[in-house]
Amino acid sequence: MTTICIKYFVIYYSITNLINSASQVFSRGGSVNPIAIEKQYSFNLGHQFPVVAKRGQGVYLWDDQGRRYIDCIGGHGVCNVGHCNPAVVKAISDQAKKLITAPDWMYNDMRSQCYKKLMSIAPPHIKKVFLCNSGTESVEAALKFSRSSTGKIQFIAAMNAFHGRSMGSLSATYNNTYKKYFKPLVPGFHHVPYNNSEALKHEVNRLKGTIAAIILEPLQGEGGVIPGKKEYFQAVEKLCRKEGILLIIDEVQTGFGRTGKMFCFEHFGIKPDILCTAKAIAGGVPMGATFCSAKIKVPKKAHGTTFGGNPLACAAAIATIEEIQKRRLADNAANVGGYFMRELKKISSPHIIEVRGMGLMIGICVKKPVYEVLDGLTKRGVLALAAGRNVLRFLPPLMITKKEVDVIVKAVKEVLG
């Protein structure tokens, strides 16, 4: 009797489970439910917004229920030229009909044009570019090239820095949340306080003669939207020149007009030996590029990638950079970003500690739990990101208008007021 009861219970339990998961999967208006499927099969590693992104145009994103959002996540700082920018869409579609893949074992017309375009926006001391597929790869190349060019192995990075999640770039990253499960990391990485040239000098003296490079973000993104100081970066450059250390500037998040100039380091008047870029470079198509000065030496076959510099991404990058230039998007980032920051600073709220940033990379340091604030904004049709535990981050497409900024500021007032 007991065996029969257990059998029936097991059958009943299995059927109920099946019905439950089927109804989860099919419960969104009778169609397949992407939220249930993604929850079931992905590792759910990030904070998932209850939004099914369906369609994008310019600064707007629509979900599967037809709701419209002003998108200040922008693909995580990728959509500088807006969602589905028509020029980028055309470039991708035209190229897709001709050739999608071509490894660098052979030459390619679109890639060669892309090299020329990238060189046209780089400062004159930059002589070579390594093309890859993401930010972490761009940083990984910078670290490897620094070792191959100097024969030295140590690196200095900043506290709160974020440089990526592969083993080298992760070793340069500061926050232990990203690192603790993956140790031992690459040896030779040392972290010093950001914007503090005395602390840096002290560390350089301690490691004298063994440092390949200093790697810094010109405005720390993931670490809490912390702008770098001009005097600090100038002092870092001077120290690098004096000690024969390479200077790597990581512009994966700040590049391509985001802070009001094509690259953020231009605000400081410095010359990085290596410049890491990715995210916005190709209007949403995965791509990275590591710009290098003549000091950088990489032996033949010492590095490479299958997809880096594929014609599809190269076509997208050319169209993206042309859009940034033609529409003067960096100037718009400076003007509208300045307005955005001034309007946010006018909000009187006990929950706001500080508003900071550059151009259209803006952070609000808050006293409330940041995900609660983000959920409140989502309900009001504004998507934004977190940067650490207590900073709200806005990375909108660069063609955003003051009128759209007013809508965002109103939503922030309602949530934090």
Q: Which residues bind to ligand PLP, rule: CB under 6 A?
A: 134-136, 139, 162-164, 217, 221-222, 250, 252-253, 278
Spatial CA neighbour of 80 closest among 374, 332, 311, 272: 332
HEC profile of 53-64: EEEEEECEEEEC
Q: Which is nearer to ligand PLP, 110 or 161 (CB)?
A: 161
Spatial CA neighbour of 253 closest among 291, 285, 220, 228: 220
Closest separation between CB of residue 252 and ligand PLP, Å?
3
Closest separation between CB of residue 237 and ligand PLP, Å?
19
- For the chain, the farthest-separated pair of C-alpha atoms sits apart, in whole angstroms, at 86
Spatial CA neighbour of 144 closest among 166, 168, 127, 176: 168
Q: Which is nearer to ligand PLP, 223 or 337 (CB)?
A: 223
Q: What is the DSSP string of 120-153?
A: HHS-TTEEEEEEESSHHHHHHHHHHHHHHHHS--
329: DSSP letter = H
Closest separation between CB of residue 213 and ligand PLP, Å?
15
Q: Which is nearer to ligand PLP, 157 or 318 (CB)?
A: 157
| Residue closest to ligand PLP (Cβ) | 135
364: phi then psi, degrees, rounded to nearest 5: -120, 120
Interatomic CA distance for residues 185 and 72, integer angstroms: 33
Q: Which is nearer to ligand PLP, 13 or 182 (CB)?
A: 182
Closest separation between CB of residue 165 and ligand PLP, Å?
6
Q: Which is nearer to ligand PLP, 218 or 337 (CB)?
A: 218
Q: Which is nearer to ligand PLP, 279 or 409 (CB)?
A: 279
Structure tokens at 354: 């500080």
Residue at 37: amino acid letter: I
126: phi then psi, degrees, rounded to nearest 5: -80, 130
Q: Which is nearer to ligand PLP, 162 or 268 (CB)?
A: 162
> Is residue 333 packed enough to be buried (19+ CB in 10 Å), middle (13-18) or exposed (0-12)?
buried
Closest separation between CB of residue 147 and ligand PLP, Å?
19
Closest separation between CB of residue 277 and ligand PLP, Å?
9
> How far is the first Cα of the chain from the last one, in angstroms, to the nearest whole number?
64
Closest separation between CB of residue 395 and ligand PLP, Å?
10
Closest separation between CB of residue 164 and ligand PLP, Å?
4
Q: Which is nearer to ligand PLP, 314 or 416 (CB)?
A: 314
